[in-house]
Amino acid sequence: MSEVRWERLTAPELKALAARNALVVLPVASLEQHGPHLPVWTDSALGHAMSVRAAEIAEDVPAVVLPAMWLGLSEHHFPFGGTISLDYATFAGVLRCVVRSIMACGFKRLFLVNSHGGNIEPLAVASRELAHEFGIPVATTSLPRVAAEEIAAILETQPAVQHACEAETALWMHLDPTQVRMDKLAGAGSQGGNLGNPDVTRFWSFAERAPVTGVRGNPEAATAEKGARLAAVISEGLARAMRDPVNWTAPDPVWMPGRAQAQL
């Protein structure tokens, strides 16, 4: 199996991958509290692991996975400690520098694989702005979205991936059970607080979203067997997105001078 991790490759090997129009994958995550039982690097570790597996599965699509971007928008987790966060301007600026860097290395496609809920909306905006500015396909998705139905069929106590929950705890039990503080599982679960009208968007901290423990979901229901199944469906979902040529067509240059007259 070919090496897919950027940090393990040499500069000449990366140059050869760029010549093959390899897809660059950036796991975008966070460093934030994950309840009393999971480490603060959970999103970064899980996002990177799933991205690497997906790149290995999609062998017909040359791909290389960058080290995880471990800083995201996590200010809503500050009340529970252990959290480092960017603001949006810095977050978007870091992503812009990544795009400039990979293009300087000869790469022309970028897949932003998100594993933190607080990054979803910022990445949706950043990816379109980056595509406009640099003229290359920049696509983004989140781990739960690439296999939503399959994930729901595996979980027993919650409908989807939440936070430090049945799903994330199960993935750790599969990947590295030493990262789970088993003696802290009892009572760690939470159904979360009342966040008002779901059709209205506003800021809510995790002290409001998941009071007491900072957990949304039921980690006590996690097992290593569920984690193995979750890892399989998520990595397969990411591999499908990597293979789909529709995701990697050049963006329409809508900001090009005179473009507004093109359809008249």
The arithmetic mean of pLDDT across residues 236-244, rounded, is 98
The arithmetic mean of pLDDT across residues 205-232, rounded, is 95
pLDDT band at residue 192 using 50, 70 and 90 as cut-offs: confident
Residues 61-96 have pLDDT tens digits of: 999 999 999 999 999 999 999 999 999 999 999 999
The arithmetic mean of pLDDT across residues 13-20, rounded, is 98
Confidence (pLDDT) at 263:
63
* Edge-to-edge strands, sheet with 138-142: 63-65, 23-28, 110-114, 138-142
Alpha-carbon radius of gyration of the chain: 19
229 conformational bin, left if phi > 0, alpha if psi -120 to 50, beta if neither: alpha
Percentage of the chain exceeding pLDDT 90 = 91
d(C-alpha 85, C-alpha 259), whole Å: 38
Confidence (pLDDT) at 223:
98
* Structural domains in the chain plus CATH codes: 7-253 (3.40.50.10310)
User: What is the pLDDT of the chain when averaged over all its residues?
Assistant: 95
The arithmetic mean of pLDDT across residues 169-185, rounded, is 98
Residues 113-159 have pLDDT tens digits of: 999 999 999 999 999 999 999 999 999 999 999 999 999 999 999 99
Confidence (pLDDT) at 242:
98
pTM of the predicted protein model: 0.96
Task: Give the closest residue to 193 by CA, choosing from 207, 173, 179.
Answer: 207
Confidence (pLDDT) at 262:
65
